[in-house]
Amino acid sequence: MIRLEQVSKVYKTSTRPALENVSVEVDKGEFVFLIGASGSGKSTFLRLLLREEVPTKGRVYVANFDVARMARRRVPRLRQSIGCVFQDFRLLHNKTVAENVAFALEVIGKPRHTIRKVVPEVLELVGLEGKAERMPNELSGGEQQRVAIARAFVNRPLMLLADEPTGNLDPDTSQDIMLLLERINRTGTTVLMATHDHSIVDSMRRRVVELDLGRVVRDDARGVYGVGR
């Protein structure tokens, strides 16, 4: 599903590489934590998968896309196969919950009858049945993140990228969000989550890929956040 082959990324304005000789393979259906201190390269890693950046060296493959070398006109297709969730939710504040989710389908040209059918289904999946007509600012942080996850997932992407999705949430709410991401993972969706959250990584015991100054320093099948290395 994801393959980075000896990927290095050096930003123009920077002297040290943001990523250096990174090789990582993620199979379809895996759940992977990407951890590391601030500045270790996690966001760069995610941006390379979305073709928001191109590598200085090496190859990036996502599903059947040769991401670094594909034609620019095909990039929207790549991005349609990847759902994204962020720390700050990024909802549209002038639209209701249902409209936020529907919008993700409208922009890719889904017909109205499909949208009317699938939006309530995905809101139920994320536990927001009954909140369809609320505005985002009427919801708790955890609920707003559920809307963001519904929006990311409604198009049934092959993969979900989550960048610190629990970063603004209290521990109990964070655990609820992790249960939801696990549920999405069980549908066969590959989940890659960048996080600083020790307790979540330790409680999930999933694969952990750790970056340090742009290098992969650890790749454990059932990892913990890992103090005392």
Judged by the rule CB under 6 A, the positions of this chain that interact with ligand ADP are 11, 13-14, 18, 36, 38-44, 138-140, 142-143
Give the integer Cα–Cα distance in Å for 161 and 84.
Answer: 5
68 versus 139: smaller Cβ distance to ligand ADP: 139
Nearer to ligand ADP, 105 or 181 (CB): 181
Q: Which is nearer to ligand ADP, 97 or 105 (CB)?
A: 97
Q: How far apart are CA 220 and CA 35, in angstroms?
A: 11
For residues 2 and 30, what is the distance between their CA atoms, to the nearest angstrom? Answer: 10
The contacts of residue 101 (CB under 8 Å, 6+ apart) are 119, 122, 123, 147, 150, 151, 154
Dihedral sign from CA coordinates of 204, 186, 208, 175: negative
* Least CB distance to ligand ADP at residue 153 (A): 20
CB of 123 to ligand ADP, least distance (A): 13
Q: Which CB atom, from 8 or from 81, has the smaller least distance to ligand ADP? A: 8
- Please report how close the Cβ of residue 42 comes to ligand ADP at its closest, in angstroms: 4
Query: Which one, 23 or 140, has the nearer CB to ligand ADP?
Result: 140
> Measured between alpha carbons, how far is 125 from 129 in angstroms, rounded to an integer?
8
Q: How far is CA 19 from the centre of its chain?
A: 19
Least separation in angstroms between residue 47's CB and ligand ADP is 7
Surface-to-core class of residue 40, CB atoms within 10 Å of its CB (0-12 exposed, 13-18 middle, 19+ buried): buried
Minimum distance from CB of 112 to ligand ADP (Å)?
27
